[in-house]
Chains A and B, each alone.
Chain A
Amino acid sequence: MNTSIEKAAANAAYPVFIPFIMAGDPNEEATIETALTLQEAGAHILELGIPYSDPLADGPVIQEAAERSLAGGMTLKKALALVPKMRERGLNIPVVIFTYYNPVYQMGLETFAKAAAENEADGLLIPDLPLEESEVVRTSMNEHGLELISLVAPTSKARIERIAQGAQGFLYIVSSLGVTGTRDELAEGTRAFIEEVKAVSPVPAAAGFGISKPEHVKALEGAADGVIVGSAIVRIIAQFEEELREPETRPEALEKVKALAVSLVTMTPMKDEVT
Chain B
Amino acid sequence: MNVNYPDEFGRYGRFGGQFVPETLMAALEELESSFRHALQDEAFMKEYHHMLTEYAGRKTPLTYAGRLTEKLGGAAIYLKREDLLHTGAHKLNNAIGQALLAKRMGKEKIVAETGAGQHGVATATVCARLGLECKVFMGAEDMERQKLNVFRMELLGAEVIPAESGSRTLKDATNEAIRYWVTHVEDTFYLIGSVVGPHPYPEMVREFQRVIGEETKQQMIEAVGDVPNAAVACVGGGSNAIGMFSPLLAEKTKLYGAEAAGEGINTPNHAATISKGRPGVIHGSLTFLMQDEAGQITEPYSISAGLDYPGIGPEHAHLADSGAAEYTAVTDEEALEAVQLLASTEGILPAIETAHAVSLAARKAAAMESSETLVICVSGRGDKDVQTMNDRISSQKEAEA
Question: Residues 149-175 of chain A: 1 if any B CB is under 8 Å from the residue's CB, otherwise 0?
Answer: 001111111110001000000000010
Residue pair B182, A57 in contact (C-beta under 8 Å):
yes
B22 — which chain A residues lie within 8 A by C-beta? 130-131, 151-153, 155-156, 159, 163, 174
A54-B297 contact, Cβ under 8 Å, with A130-B18, A154-B23, A159-B26: yes
A2 — which chain B residues lie within 8 A by C-beta? none
Q: Which residue of A lies closest to B24 (CB)?
A: A155
Residue pair B281, A102 in contact (C-beta under 8 Å):
yes
Most buried by B among A70, A75, A155: A155
Size range of the chain A interface in the assembly: 35 or more
Distance of A130 Cα from B29 Cα, bound (Å)? 12
Residue pair A153, B283 in contact (C-beta under 8 Å):
no
A216 to chain B, nearest CB (A): 18
* Residues of chain B at interface, number, CB under 8 A: 39
Interface membership of A177, Cβ < 8 A: yes
Distance of A128 Cα from B25 Cα, bound (Å)? 10
Q: Which segment, of A103-111, A114-122, A138-146, A221-229, faces chain B? A: A103-111
Residue pair A57, B171 in contact (C-beta under 8 Å):
no
Interface membership of B1, Cβ < 8 A: no
B166 — which chain A residues lie within 8 A by C-beta? 53-54
Interface membership of B9, Cβ < 8 A: yes
A177-B23 contact, Cβ under 8 Å, with A53-B166, A106-B280: yes
Distance of A159 Cα from B23 Cα, bound (Å)? 11
Chain B residues 19 to 59 lying within 8 A of chain A, measured CB to CB, are 19-27
Interface membership of A76, Cβ < 8 A: yes
Distance of A52 Cα from B297 Cα, bound (Å)? 8
Distance of A148 Cα from B242 Cα, bound (Å)? 36
Interface membership of B209, Cβ < 8 A: no
B281 — which chain A residues lie within 8 A by C-beta? 100-102, 105, 128
Residue pair A156, B25 in contact (C-beta under 8 Å):
yes
Partner among B18, B185, B280, B282 whose Cβ is within 8 Å of the Cβ of A177: B185
Most buried by A among B283, B286, B295: B295
A179-B296 contact, Cβ under 8 Å, with A102-B291, A155-B26: no
Interface membership of A84, Cβ < 8 A: no
Chain B residues 246 to 282 lying within 8 A of chain A, measured CB to CB, are 278-282
Distance of A179 Cα from B298 Cα, bound (Å)? 23
Chain B residues 284 to 316 lying within 8 A of chain A, measured CB to CB, are 284, 286, 289, 291, 293-298
B25 — which chain A residues lie within 8 A by C-beta? 130-132, 153, 155-156, 159
B20 — which chain A residues lie within 8 A by C-beta? 128, 130
Residue pair B23, A132 in contact (C-beta under 8 Å):
no
A127-B297 contact, Cβ under 8 Å, with A177-B185, A178-B182: no
Most buried by A among B24, B279, B286, B289: B24
The 4 nearest A-B residue pairs measured at CB: A106-B295, A178-B183, A153-B23, A103-B295
Known: A57-B179, A130-B25. 7 other contacts (CB 8 A): A104-B295, A105-B281, A107-B295, A133-B17, A151-B22, A159-B22, A177-B23
Interface residues of B (CB under 8 A from A): 9, 17-27, 165-166, 171, 175, 178-179, 182-186, 278-284, 286, 289, 291, 293-298
Can you offer 9 A-B residue contacts whose CB atoms are under 8 A?
Answer: A102-B281, A103-B295, A127-B21, A131-B25, A132-B17, A153-B21, A153-B23, A156-B25, A157-B26
